[in-house]
A and B are shown apart, each in its own frame.
Chain A
Amino acid sequence: MADSISLRNQISTLRQSFFDEGMLDKHFVQLEELEEENPHFAEEVMTMFFRDSTKLIATVEHALQTSPYDLPQIDQYLHQLKGSSSSVGAAKVWSEINKLRALLKDGEMERFWTQFFQVKNEHDKLKENLGPYFQMLRQLDP
Chain B
Amino acid sequence: MTDGNANGNQEGATTPLMSWNNNLKALLVDPSPACRLIGKAYLTAYGVNTEAVDNADVAIILLNMGASFNVILIDMHMREMNGAQFAMLLRSSGVQTKLLGMSAMFREREKEEFLEAGGDGFIEKPLHPSKFVPILQELDSN
Chain A residue at minimal CB-CB distance from B35: A87
Check A34–B45 contact: CB distance below 8 A: yes
Check A45–B37 contact: CB distance below 8 A: yes
Chain A residue at minimal CB-CB distance from B126: A87
Binary flags per residue of A27-41, CB closer than 8 Å to B gives 1, else 0: 100110010111001
**Given A84-B32, A87-B125; A44-B104 close (CB under 8 Å):** no
CA distance A49 to B32 in the complex (A): 8
CA distance A79 to B45 in the complex (A): 28
- List CB contacts (< 8 Å) of B31-45 with chain A: 31-35, 37-38, 41-42, 44-45
Interface size on A, as a range, is 20 to 34
A120 is an interface residue with CB less than 8 A from chain B: no
Check A49–B34 contact: CB distance below 8 A: yes
Chain B residue at minimal CB-CB distance from A41: B41
CA distance A4 to B125 in the complex (A): 37
Chain A residue at minimal CB-CB distance from B17: A37
Check B33–A83 contact: CB distance below 8 A: no
Report the minimum CB–CB distance from B133 to chain A (whole Å).
14
A-B contact count (CB 8 A): 62
- List CB contacts (< 8 Å) of A39-55 with chain B: 41, 44-46, 48-49, 51-52
CA distance A11 to B8 in the complex (A): 24
Main secondary structure of the interface of A (DSSP, over half): helix
Check B35–A36 contact: CB distance below 8 A: no
B139 is an interface residue with CB less than 8 A from chain A: no
B93 is an interface residue with CB less than 8 A from chain A: no
B62 is an interface residue with CB less than 8 A from chain A: no
Residues of B within 8 A of A (CB): 6, 8, 14, 31-35, 37-38, 41-42, 44-45, 75, 77, 79, 104, 125-128
Given A37-B41, A83-B104: 17 more A-B contacts, CB < 8 Å: A27-B126, A30-B38, A30-B128, A31-B38, A37-B8, A37-B14, A37-B45, A45-B34, A49-B33, A49-B34, A76-B79, A82-B104, A83-B77, A84-B32, A84-B33, A87-B126, A88-B34
